[in-house]
Amino acid sequence: MEVHEIISKLFAPGKGILAADESNESAGKRLAAVGAESTTETRRAYRELFFECPGLSEFISGVILYDETWWERSSTDEPYPAYLAAQGVLPGIKVDQGLSPFGEGEKVTDGLENLGERLDGYAKTGATFAKWRATFRVDPLRELPTTACFLENAKRMAEYAKACAVRGIVPICEPEVLLEGRHSMAEAEKAIGEALDALFEALAAAGVPFGSVILKTSMALPGIAADEVEPIREVAASTARVLTAHAPGALAGVVFLSGGQTPQLATAHLDAIAKREPLPWPVTFSYARAIQEEPLKVWRGRPENVDRARAAFIRRLTLLAAADQGRYDAAAER
């Protein structure tokens, strides 16, 4: 499949990308929160809950998988990448390998070692796109994030994107400005802009065409411990402003991460941003927790709850599909 075709499918109207690429540790925390033990089998059942849900392809264009899940098989004994592709859902893979300390209070992303070899293996088994995440904590009192952290993460992300591009894999670059902290919306907007400037300068230096890259970004949100909560319209305006000022128009598209928002807020914010379209590029959602939280609370690791959990999953996807087109009605939450 050609790169332009992959991008077109990922940005099909009313569809988004399911981020199901939690590490085993993160998946374990999600399972523990609903009273389920984390084992190889329960993690597979956790993924199956979503991947094998009837109607998935109506709302989801692609799924980002974690390495463990990539090599697992569906209930019909097909490798999950092949199973998803057969349902009309593009399989993608998270290829970064976690975070390491950088300076005082910051982190950089690891995973460049053997990246080409790993990408070759994923490409041979069906990968159409990949994802690499970096994180930035906003703490004005400690003067974080630093320029050095932006630049080092951007350099590594550009190397990853170039390795994807030469293999015909669409790279998703995710410079996440974390929700934790007490920072203001304006401070989040500033950090997002600086992260984007560093990223696109590094991509240009590496010779990666912007038209082959998807940006996965935070919204311009105040920190979760901030004193004030910004109105939804203001968050949308701030987010659209920073993206149009710092993301090149040639970019393939933008997908938003939920970053710890509640399902309701993540849906409402997406709707408010969509109402500001047309933007220079297509936009949609690539949520993890904001999609999974409600069905996980229903499921709780119990087979008898699967149908009800999937109904909650489809309900949230229906609301997100409406939000992606600026047609979300908050009254539907009730």
Is omega for the bond preceding 231 within 30 degrees of 0, making it cis?
no
- Residue 269 belongs to domain spanning: 3-326
With CA atoms as reference, report the closest residue to 112 among 51, 48, 181, 158.
Answer: 158
Q: Of the listed 22, 72, 174, 294, which one is catalytic? A: 174
In a domain, 333, yes or no: no
- Overall size of the chain counted in residues: 334
Q: Please, what's the largest Cα pairwise distance for the chain?
A: 54
Q: Of the listed 94, 155, 190, 216, which one is catalytic? A: 216
CA dist 198 → 189, 191, 223, 310, 318 (Å): 14, 11, 22, 40, 36
In a domain, 219, yes or no: yes
Please state, for a pLDDT cut of 90, what percent of the chain lies above it: 98
Give the number of other CB atoms < 10 A from CB of residue 254.
21
What pLDDT, in 10s, does the model give residues 121-166? 999 999 999 999 999 999 999 999 999 999 999 999 999 999 999 9
Number of domains in the chain: 1
Asked about 94 being catalytic, the answer comes back as: no
In a domain, 332, yes or no: no
Residue 231 CB partners (closer than 8 Å, separation 6+): none
Amino acid (one-letter) located at 269: H
In a domain, 143, yes or no: yes
Q: In which region does residue 191 sit, left (phi positive, over 0), alpha (psi from -120 to 50) or beta (all else)?
A: alpha
In a domain, 158, yes or no: yes
In a domain, 175, yes or no: yes
What pLDDT, in 10s, does the model give residues 189-236? 999 999 999 999 999 999 999 999 999 999 999 999 998 889 999 999
Residues 242, 243, 247: CA angle, nearest 5 degrees: 125
Looking at residue 115, what is its pLDDT? Answer: 98
Question: Which strands sit side by side in the sheet containing 253-256, from one edge to the other?
Answer: 16-20, 60-65, 90-94, 129-136, 170-177, 214-217, 253-256, 283-285
Give 223's DSSP letter.
-
What pLDDT, in 10s, does the model give residues 57-104? 999 999 999 999 999 999 999 999 999 999 999 999 999 999 999 999
In a domain, 334, yes or no: no
Residue 334 has pLDDT above 90, yes or no: no
Average pLDDT (108-117) is 98
Looking at residue 333, what is its pLDDT? Answer: 94
With CA atoms as reference, report the closest residue to 166 among 131, 214, 208, 117.
Answer: 208
Answer whether 0.75 is exceeded by the pTM: yes
In a domain, 237, yes or no: yes
What pLDDT, in 10s, does the model give residues 34-46? 999 999 999 999 9
Asked about 189 being catalytic, the answer comes back as: no
Question: 144-173 b/e with 16+ CB inside 10 Å = b?
Answer: bbbeebbebbbbbbbbbbbbbbeeebbbbb
The domain that contains 140 carries what CATH number? Answer: 3.20.20.70
Helical (H) or strand (E) element with 94: strand 90-94
Looking at residue 228, what is its pLDDT? Answer: 87
